Amino acid sequence: MNQYKLVLPEHLNHYGYLFGGNMLKWTDEYSWIAASLDYPGCKFVTIGMDKVEFRRGVDKGAILRFDVQRAHQGNTSVRYAVSVYADNIETGGEELVFSTQVTFVCLDEHGNKRALP
């Protein structure tokens, strides 16, 4: 699944680059959407992100492409690999700027782990 995000001035840190916390928020949100679409009716919560790696700064005006792919399914949890690319609208190229893996667990109505369908 691909999602896109435009980097606006309110997303920048005091150095003028994308604030890392925004990248983490979007990564969590978009991977949660992928999990929810893949497993309708499941109540997912994030339990971890593996090796968060910022490869370079991201400037204002960049268009980010979040490539979210299911990497592993367990009995009660699922992990998604997320790669984020910054698109250069002038050249049409893109560069990998961030990657991680996000793990979710499926919960029942009482907050206990439950098996994935």
CATH of the domain at 78: 3.10.129.10
> CA-to-CA distance for 59 and 12, rounded, in angstroms?
8
Q: How many domains does the structure of the chain reveal? A: 1
Q: Could you read off the pLDDT tens digit of each residue along the chain, which spans 117 residues? A: 999 999 999 999 999 999 999 999 999 999 999 999 999 999 999 999 999 989 999 999 999 999 999 999 999 999 999 999 999 778 888 999 999 999 999 999 999 999 999
In a domain, 99, yes or no: yes
Residue 88 counted as domain residue: yes
- Take residue 23 and report the two structure tokens written for it: 């990248």
Count of beta carbons in the 10 Å neighbourhood of residue 71: 14
Q: Do 96 and 85 contact (CB within 8 A), yes or no? A: yes
Tokens at 17, concatenated: 């680059």
Strands 77-87 and 43-54, how do they pair?
unpaired
Instruction: Tell me the pTM.
Output: 0.93
Q: What is the DSSP letter of 100?
A: E
Q: Is residue 89 part of a domain?
A: yes
**Alpha carbons 4 and 110: distance in angstroms, whole number:** 34
Q: Which residue range is the domain that position 87 belongs to?
A: 2-107
Nearest to 45, CA basis, from 117, 87, 107: 107
Tell me the C-alpha distance between 113 and 92, whole Å: 44
